Amino acid sequence: MKKLCLALSTVLIAACSAMDSERFAMEVDEPSLQSKGRLSAPLAEKEFLPPTHPLTAGAHACSFDYPPQERAAGCNRALARTINFGDMLDTPTEGLGPVLSDEFITLAKGAGFTAIRLTIRWDARADFKPPYTIDPDFFDRVDGAVKLASAQGLAVVIDMHHYAAMNTAPKSEQQRFLALWNQIAQHYRNAPATVMFELLNEPNLYLGRDMWQRVMSAALREIRASNPDRTLIVGGAPWNTLAALEQLHLPFDDRNLIVTFHYYDPIEVTHQGAEWVDGSDEWMGTAWRGSAAERQALKADFADVAQWAKVERRPIFLGEFGVYSEADDATRLAWTKAVREQAEANGFSWAYWELASKFGVLDPWTLDWREPLLQTLLPQSPVLGANARLYGRYDDR
Ligand code: GLC
């Protein structure tokens, strides 16, 4: 998969007010991104998933009270139905995509997602000279989201996203990458077990298989120094594809890892008309209706991942999948439903790409769900059915 530049949404929403500069604190008053992003109760105490749901059964083990392997499996159940908060904190500055707000988090919770993946461009918020200090105001901003989501009972993935220099110049950038993880890990070391770190989104280009293997091992050591018990998420190079798993060698003794892969196949379907992919205009009109052959290809791909997971004994998180909004609605709905179902059939947790930008399941202006799409992800969502809006709203976007 070849991606040439960032997806920049045209959506511009009012910027959020500045946060105060306190460090991650566990017990404070009203949670709100706009105010201080604080908590009313100890995070780990909160009931955060319907324990009876088959997809989330076992999520209670996402707790420091459980041994590492069980914790990783439990935390992967906490990620059962995740929504990516894409194009929000992973743009060079905020406001180039949808601006993260309290509502996004409460709406995600209300719809029935169990977790949010915060895709964050940390490198754009840190000094270029040692010690590569991360902007404290930005930490506050992320804290607000982490605390509000946690207070609502959502698990959180803190992901290092769009770190372009790591792909173009991994050797010279590595020191800074590790210094960023050092700070992030220290900062969130007291966060509940339901807050997980994802080492790096889609390593690619010069950060190939071998180089990523070395960098990943160094990053794991760096993070483990302050977070020996936190569940961490890693994927393979290049691009977190399923094929990259074959070359991913994880430290055998660290059983507290979740393995991620991204699925956008066929790329001509999912990325038709995507401005950041060369030649994607020519793919416009590529349909996917779930023919026997299409389903078989999907099934075979996921069976490969499941087989790898079985041998390696690692829980699997499908960290991104989705179809760009330039595709026709029937294609988007059929593909998304089929992929989500395959993930669940194989016991993978999943995260749809993404909430409110150009793959979005939520209209960032009206805050209405695009219900047919939401239905493919969360068929039993409480916001569907009686409250459902007309299909037309989805077509009109
Ligand atoms: C990657 C990119 C994101 C893009 C998505 C689909 O995660 O980071 O910007 O929209 O894949 O291509």
β-pair partners for 232: 197, 257
Q: Is the CB of 162 under 6 A from ligand 1?
A: yes
Q: In terms of pTM, does the model score above 0.95?
A: no
Query: Could you give the CA distance from residue 133 to residue 148 in angstroms, rounded to a whole number?
Result: 25
Ligand 1 centroid to Cα of residue 333, in Å, is 19
Residues with Cβ within 8 Å of 260's Cβ and at least 6 positions away in sequence, in order, are 198, 233, 234, 235, 240, 316, 317, 318, 319
Element (H, E) at 159: strand 155-160
Per-residue pLDDT at 53: 76
Q: Higher pLDDT residue, 307 or 28?
A: 307
Q: What is the pLDDT of residue 382?
A: 87
Q: What angle do CA 378, 380, 386 make, to 5 degrees?
A: 115
DSSP state of 16: P
Determine the pLDDT at residue 7: 35
- Regarding the beta carbon of 212 and ligand 1, being less than 6 Å apart is answered no
Indicate if the pLDDT at residue 228 is higher than 50: yes
* Residue 159 buriedness (CB in 10 A; 0-12 / 13-18 / 19+): buried
Pairing of strands 316-321, 195-198: unpaired
Q: What is the mean pLDDT of the chain?
A: 87
Q: Is the pLDDT of residue 3 over 90?
A: no
The verdict on the CB of residue 354 being under 6 Å from ligand 1 is: no
Rounded to whole angstroms, how far apart are CA atoms 195 and 188?
Answer: 8
Contacts for 385 with CB less than 8 Å, ≥ 6 apart? none
CB distance 320 to ligand 1 below 6 Å: yes
The strand ranges marked E within 31-79 are: none
What distance in angstroms lies between residue 88's CA and the mean position of ligand 1's atoms?
12
pLDDT tens sequence across 68-89? 999 999 999 999 999 999 999 9
- Nearest atom, ligand 1, residue 7 CA: 9
**Ligand 1 contact, 358 CB (< 6 A):** no
